[in-house]
Structure 1
């Protein structure tokens, strides 16, 4: 039987894993394959951060869970466990099975009690995961068989009955999207577009964004691959402010007044010469390609501008 590590050594591994993931993911921007995640070492020895079969990783040397995993779900498919956001703006992570004393549920409970930082591996493709770190379990909802998950900096914020509760709830929801859902959305888009700008083919990850075709506050603005484009920061900004549009047939258009403007080489070659050209990068899988109806919504707004 493997002996438990001292608490300080367990803490050191958690901190080392988070530093390693930050370096390997470009400070959280990029997703990693299962094989890449398996390259982590601690003290020169290989150490598994994610369980290949189970959703919850509790090393034998640890008193509490180290990581949790959400499996990849293609469009229209269901996951075996559905993790979702609650009315308080925080995400839920389901128990393993329905037995509260299942060893993996006990491991999560230990992480909650001791406020241990966890890594959440969120599936964004086959054997491709977006690591989100650190996250904390701050409560357990036994009736719903789930734990409440908070991102760093939110774990000590508690719900109250004060008039500020709705403000707090909105803040928590915004922060959860910023720390969890938006990075996952970005990783899904980068996978579909092979980390290339759809308009100009730029392939430098730090200069790429996952752009919504229809903004997330729109009733149809879900964080789905079909509602996204991989765009470099310049073309993302141009798309958002209506300088650059995209037809439902995936052809780029530039606003008429910009076409008549005389400026430096960036405007001439980086914007104006795109007019009338098809997208340079389109997802290989048809299921990942932009939704024509969503493109039409944005294109009509572009034309009206």
Structure 2
């Protein structure tokens, strides 16, 4: 027995930030951003809103898609926690009317959805839960320096969620084998230095104040690009081998939307034609753990993904971390995410 996807939902905050909006304060241009990332606009949480609020909305839609009102557990993947303590998931569960179920957060940045799927699959396979609501949610624009032209244009806010239930490996929606990996030796290529136990601001207690820029994301773009293409390509091949699929068997490649050039390069490395590559980064930016479920929801809504299609999922993110899996897409309803 293992996890079977039986519902999906997504949510984007209403505020749209276009490249032209960013250009009014940054030394950049729409042409520069599009050429390097493929992004034209992204969403931003309103003042006073947080990851919790996005997660609740996506969770509601996934539960409606699955025609469920209860689950045994809620798992939330995020890198933009509401607070260092406690976890966001229990509060999300409460707001969804799932008050006493098991609920916890996990973080693996942009690989969070793949790591979370594997975790939820394990909860089901071991009998801990018969059903799980798994949400990837990010209000990551709050952690990006608005004056940094290398990072500010890339990230957007949003949430995507799926419902998994106990089922058989032969069912549509059954999760395939997982390939997961990490390389902590390169952790500093993508990191927020301050905010954790390693570096804390404690003025008046004998510690130096942390420089402002260290509260924001630091990114080494060029080596990350190389690592992303290499790791996602190799991981995807291992996932395909585990599923006993040839590359030609794949109907749709759904890669984490970090940069359109990365996704296209991975497809080229695998020998996948670009018409089999799913893309929505132009409209939402990089939404980290929310990226893949938002893209899946979008593909179903646009008719690019249909029941019976063979789907390859792959992601790469901070840590460094990466992961891939496969599934045959089930017949599940979706709501349009505007």
TM tier relative to shorter chain: under 0.3
Higher alpha-carbon Rg? 1
Q: TM-score, normalised by structure 2?
A: 0.25
